[in-house]
Amino acid sequence: MIVGLGVTGCIAAYKAVEVLRGLQKRGAEVRVVMTRHATEFVGTLTFQSISGFPVISDMFAPTDDPEIKHIQLAQSIDLLLVAPATANTLAKFANGIADDFLSTLYISTTAPVLVAPAMNVEMWAHPATRDNVRRLRERGVQFIDPGEGYLACRTVGAGRLAEPAEIVERACEIIGLESPAAEPSNTSDKSLNGEHVLITAGPTQEAVDPVRFLSNRSSGKMGYSVVEEALARGAAVTLISGPVSIDPPKGARTISVRSAAEMYEAVKNNLDDATIVVMAAAVADYRPSNTQRQKIKKNGAAILLQLEPTDDILAAVGGTKDSRIVIGFAAETENVIENAKKKLNEKHADLIVANDVSASDSGFDVDTNRISLVSSEGVDELPLMSKRDAAARIVDAAIKIRQSRPLSVG
């Protein structure tokens, strides 16, 4: 089955990567079409690398193929799925406007069309949008209505893109793809049997006053992916997680913390049994020196926040590791490898997982990553991949280190 995946220009475009991966896991071949504005949010290379096919983003891009591209694709797909779909895209579809590849593909295909809108709550509620949705439904276009929640525009209400898993499930129902069998990748790989893996994940929050805090953009997705991979390979796993919006993997012992100090205490209290430690959390380097007991009132004047350093958890673990394997993360915006090598030595870690968090496809709160594994053996720079695949490579590296070091913790 071939699915044409249309991606339009809104902040939820990054979630289309997860939709793409979900469709592939169900056995679909996915051809991605991006609007010009969608490429401002996620690069075409991300979708091309994962789908294995060129991404179409220009109606008139030169090509050696004599076929008319939109007609060729329109006739070959079994489903056109647009996720996310902006209000502008819905308006084009409803009114037959074909001024880019995606809108032209829509009026050229006879395949079923499934649309997952995402937009501001007021845009979704606007009479023009409601009328466009009604007209499209009458023409047979199927919808996965947006959910309610906190939106990128800092408002709360309907307009949030439906969950990728829900979109994938609905798409597969339409084209008749069965639910996949259990993934075979790690069902017989129990290479972490006997290991107790301690993993930190997510951000920390450092209180300024009762309603404000300092934090970062970590979603916890990378750390949680490592938890899933370690569990799949037979390890006992303790997860120490900062505040995130994702559910902890089943099978892990989960300890929820909020501040860097709480995470430090939780790591210390659970370190003795750990044979492998993966420090994937984005721990705050600084916290306010004095947390105010009452809310700081706005009076128009500037305020000065004095900060003090937090405890260095990775350095503390690395300094007493013995035969324990210690893996740290380096989220960098420049000199990525150089800074990772420095961190490897200063923290006495066995491996540093480094990535450029300023990149749109491999930074915080996306489902893909482009990591480099930095160890005393050298640097292994990996291509863009899903965070679960990246987790598998991290676990592979840990197993390789274990093979060279006998287990004697406890």
CA–CA distance, 337 with 189 (Å, rounded to integer) = 31
* Mean pLDDT, range 225-229, rounded to an integer: 95
Residue 132 scores a pLDDT above 80: yes
pLDDT tens for 176-218 read: 876 554 344 444 578 899 999 999 999 999 999 999 999 998 9
DSSP per residue, 164-185: HHHHHHHHHHHHTPPPPPPP-T
pLDDT of residue 186: 44
Annotated domain spans of the chain? 2-175, 196-292+300-403
The CATH T-level fold of domain 2-175 is Rossmann fold (3.40.50)
**pTM across the whole model:** 0.59
Query: Is it the case that residue 365 has pLDDT exceeding 80?
Result: no
What pLDDT is stored for residue 66 in this prediction?
A: 40
Average pLDDT over residues 274-299: 95
Active site residues: 153
Question: 109 vs 29, 74, 123, 174, 384, CA distance in Å?
Answer: 17, 4, 27, 16, 32
For strands 212-214 and 206-209, give the pairing: antiparallel
pLDDT score of 154 more than 80: no
**Phi and psi at residue 351, to the nearest 5°:** -155, 140
Same fold? 2-175, 196-292+300-403: yes
**What's the whole-number mean pLDDT along residues 29-45?**
92
Specify the range with the lowest mean pLDDT, choosing from 33-37, 95-99, 365-369. 365-369
Contacts of residue 275, Cβ cutoff 8 Å, sequence gap at least 6 = 194, 195, 196, 197, 323, 324, 325, 407, 409
Tell me what pLDDT residue 140 has: 92
Q: By the 8 A CB rule, do 236 and 193 touch?
A: no
Q: What is the homologous superfamily of the domain 196-292+300-403 according to CATH?
A: CoaB-like (3.40.50.10300)
Question: Where is 226: in which H helix or E strand?
Answer: helix 221-232
Has residue 64 got a pLDDT over 70? no
Task: Return the H-helix or E-strand segment holding 130.
Answer: helix 127-138
